[in-house]
Amino acid sequence: MSNFQILNNVDHKDLRIVEAVGPEFGDVIHSCPAYTFEFRDLQVDFPILLQVTEQDGLIPVAVMGFESGENLFVNNAQWTALSRPAFMRKGPFLIGQHQSQEGEEVRLLSVDMAHPRVSHGTEGEAVFQPLGGRTQYLEQQADLLEQIHEGAGHTQRFTQCLADLDLVESITLDISLHDGSKNQLLGFSAINEDAVRALSAESLEQLSQQGFLMPLFMMLASLSNMGRLIQFKQKARDANQ
């Protein structure tokens, strides 16, 4: 269960964050949210698909495996992809909305003290310097969180535009491995390439003006990674036999 606290250099002066890779840190997930500002990097490694969630509705996701509890980019405590989704890089941190004494909404950095990356020992990256200042690590995390905060709105508008233009289609992927085992990728949607080709000049201009054209093409380009993902699945299966 999460335990978010407003980050400060008194209560959290000895706080450290473990940056190792492994299932014990929540890294073994087969997909995670993705934001438009990172599509250019993510499309090098991952298929970027769409998924409907109860909390946020239609969202883009980076796909890293074919089933729950599988991440084909985690191997022997190493992250093997060139890029890493911001959702995973942010670790236990979150920008929370809080009300000031004047009644204004302010954004403050929060930390989930129940997160498996949180350490009070000597392991991990220090969050605060001995005299209370922010470490370079924390500054980098704060910058990333600002990117996520600002990018979330753009990403939400992007996916809404895709839906409004009827560019989204549900997909089911069936794969068969060399040993005869079968896997299915279910619950995802993708960009309908034929629908994109049929867009009017007016719709293309609308996408371009809102900064949606580039992420749209990055999503389409990312689909070529599905074949690589199947190869990684086969390699992982062979290694376990």
User: Per-residue b/e over 155-182, b at no fewer than 16 CB within 10 Å?
Assistant: bbebbebbeebebbeebebeeeeeeeee
Residue 241's pLDDT band (cuts 50, 70, 90): low
Longest dimension (CA), the chain: 65
* Distance in angstroms (rounded) separating the CA atoms of residues 168 and 210: 18
Q: Per residue in 153-193, pLDDT tens?
A: 999 999 999 999 999 999 988 888 777 777 788 899 999 99
| Selected residue with higher pLDDT from 28 and 67 | 28
Provide mean pLDDT across the span 110-132.
94
Provide mean pLDDT across the span 73-93.
96
Residue 100's pLDDT band (cuts 50, 70, 90): low
Q: Is the pLDDT of residue 65 over 90?
A: yes
| pTM listed for this prediction | 0.91
Residue 75's pLDDT band (cuts 50, 70, 90): very high
Query: What is the predicted pLDDT for the residue at 145?
Result: 96
Residue 94's pLDDT band (cuts 50, 70, 90): very high
Q: Helix, strand, or coil here: 208?
A: helix
Contact 58, 52 (CB under 8 A): yes
Query: What is the predicted pLDDT for the residue at 93?
Result: 97
Q: Per residue in 209-219, pLDDT tens?
A: 999 999 999 99
pLDDT averaged over every residue in the chain: 93
Query: What is the predicted pLDDT for the residue at 239?
Result: 76
Q: Is the pLDDT of residue 115 over 90?
A: yes
- Phi, psi for residue 70 in degrees, rounded to 5: -130, 125
